[in-house]
Chain A
Amino acid sequence: MTAAAIHPAAPARRYGSSRIGSVIRLYFTNPMTIAVTPFIVLASIFVLNLAIWVIVVVSSPGNTNFAEGFSYSGASAWIFFYMAVVAIQAMNNTFRLALGYGATRRDFYLGSALVFVAMSVVFTAVITILGLLEEVTDGWGLQGRMFTPVYFGDNWGVRIAVILCLFLFFTFTGSAFGAVFVRWGRNGLLIFGGILLAIVVAIGLAIALLDAWGPFGSWLDANAPLGLALWSLVPSAVFGVAGFFILRGATPKS
């Protein structure tokens, strides 16, 4: 390669080609965090749950209906939090590396958002398939319910929508929090958290002042879980868009 190749005479070369693809690859440079660890943890929790189901079933002779009790399972909740943490860390460390590599904040955020959406779809598919198996095997022969808890709804269309909406909500909430931290540091995070809390309290206050807890409760009942899941797309979208604009002004100090 000659000097001319490094310094092309005409500035008209592929100016501003996108680095979105490179950012996406960056997430899979070490596939452990995104594509391996979640499944290892999922498998471990599943084995733990199997053991617990066995304990419960063996210790309650005469009882034949466990499915309802087992359906209030929070065992799959961790994976949503895991995704939120992945998103927070991405905004922090992966962002700093991508910028060090000369990617724009725009390309970094768009690439990251695509990765988060793709991960949400893949994990939704995995949980859905495991849930199908759970149903077909009558709860792994134990009436166990880890992938079909009552919170996900009771038919497959609803379950898929609810799980996907949950993943999107957790990843984009995570990326908004991560972006706030990178842009404004610890104090920014506290203020951001405070503002969100204030919004929730204000809504609660409004409901109380309007004496509307009753109607609110029946609205929740009527809409759970599908309606609520779809409503969560509103904050997910707000966080997703806000994260973009917050990160565009962030500087990787320190």
Chain B
Amino acid sequence: MTATATDSIVRAAGLTRRFGDVTAVDGVDVEIRRDRIYGLLGRNGAGKTTLMHLLTGQDFPTGGTLEVFGHAPAENAGVLQQLCFIKESQRYPDDFKVKHVLRSAPWFFENWDEDFAARLVDDFELPMNRRIKKVSRGQLSAVGVIVGLASRAPLTFFDEPYLGLDAVARQIFYDRLLADYAEHPRTVVLSSHLIDEVANLLEHVLVIDRGRMILDESADDLRESATTLVGSRQKVEDFLGSREVLHREGIGGLASVTVAGLTAEERQAATAAGLELAPVSLQQLVVHLTRTSEKEFA
């Protein structure tokens, strides 16, 4: 994948945010390119939200450099007008009803699509006349999802946008996001800890742990970087030898083991040995990576 100079819309180098003696974002280098869907993954408290606050100019870095659309985002109207940041903790004026959010959002997002917003309201069965303070957690999340999708901002951030949404509603979100993204390509950064659920949406994966970016890879490369071998325990062990095991599961005489990337010959050898090769789950990879980084820093 080759990137031209204009392809990159976010560049951070050594980006740092300290709160007292806590370093929430710790020397992050990252580049985000246009028209891709990024997953920002990591455990609770890993720094996902703080990083998004920095990238959207809601918070100020304490170190490093940051450019979004070529400029520092904080207090830069030209940059901020191209962003949409949907966060789980968004607050609204006390007297706002759902309809007031959808009425006011278009004044701030110039690509706003009124019809699309109306369709999404139907999809999520939102009560337009209910006060924001009275709606359920899931409905509140749906309000954010609708604003995030209908704003069609060139760079859209969704920070854990699905809290309280049931499985059906989450699927609606994923489906609408993909369909609209296909028609109106833009850059989406989705933070999540429901990793397997969003895995198929993602084109690029960023994993943050303890404020550090520990993985920055295309989803395809990442999936190829590991393989799950399934077969009888004995055959699996024979094949493994001294390979590094990322994840291991077993039931009775069967074993399922995830190992780091295999060459084409190794894959043939594994098949010849009677093992089944299965694609690895993104979740397992991330869990493994964050555990490893935990050990290194312990």
Binding site for B on A (CB under 8 A): 1, 3, 5-7, 9, 11, 15-19, 21-22, 25-26, 29-30, 32-33, 89-90, 92-94, 96-107, 248-249, 251-254
Contacts and interface: CB of A to CB of B under 8 A. Distances in A.
A102 B34 contact: no
Interface in B87-102: 87, 89-97, 100
A107 B107 CA distance: 13
Interface string B38-69: 00000000000000010011111000000001
B14 interface: no
A16 B96 CA distance: 28
B186 interface: yes
Contacts of B186: 3, 6-7
B152 interface: yes
B75 interface: yes
A100 B75 contact: no
Contacts of B154: 6-7
B47 to A, nearest CB: 14
B77 A101 contact: no
Interface stretch (B78-86, B222-230, B236-244, B284-292): B78-86
Contact of B90 (A26, A97, A105): A97
Contacts of A29: 93, 96, 100, 103-104
A91 B53 CA distance: 19
Contacts of B77: 15-19, 103-104, 107
Interface residues on B, range: 35 or more
Contacts of B80: 102-104
B58 A251 contact: yes
Given A7-B154, A25-B107, A102-B84, A97 B95 contact: no
Contact of A32 (B58, B70, B91, B95): B95
13 contacts: A3-B185, A6-B152, A17-B81, A29-B93, A30-B93, A93-B91, A93-B92, A93-B93, A93-B94, A96-B91, A101-B108, A102-B56, A251-B60
B50 to A, nearest CB: 10
B35 to A, nearest CB: 7
B34 A7 contact: yes
A1 B53 contact: no
A16 B78 contact: yes
In the A-B complex, the 9 residue pairs with the closest CB atoms: A15-B78, A101-B108, A16-B78, A22-B107, A16-B77, A102-B80, A96-B91, A29-B104, A3-B185
A102 B110 CA distance: 11
Interface of B: 6, 34-35, 53, 56-60, 69-70, 75-78, 80-87, 89-97, 100, 103-105, 107-109, 111, 152-154, 184-186
Contacts of B95: 30, 32-33
B184 A97 contact: no
Nearest to B152: A6
Contacts of A33: 93-95
A97 B91 contact: yes
Given A6-B152, A90-B93, A101-B109, 7 more contacts: A1-B152, A19-B77, A25-B104, A105-B75, A249-B60, A251-B60, A252-B91
A28 B226 CA distance: 55
Contacts of B97: 30
Contact of A101 (B89, B94, B105): B105
Nearest to B105: A101
A205 B245 CA distance: 75
Contacts of A106: 75
Contacts of B78: 15-17
B58 to A, nearest CB: 6
A30 B185 CA distance: 33
Contact of B35 (A3, A19, A25, A32): A3
A1 B184 contact: yes
B273 to A, nearest CB: 47
Contact of B92 (A9, A15, A97, A99): A97
Nearest to A102: B80
Given A11-B69, A16-B76, A99 B58 contact: yes
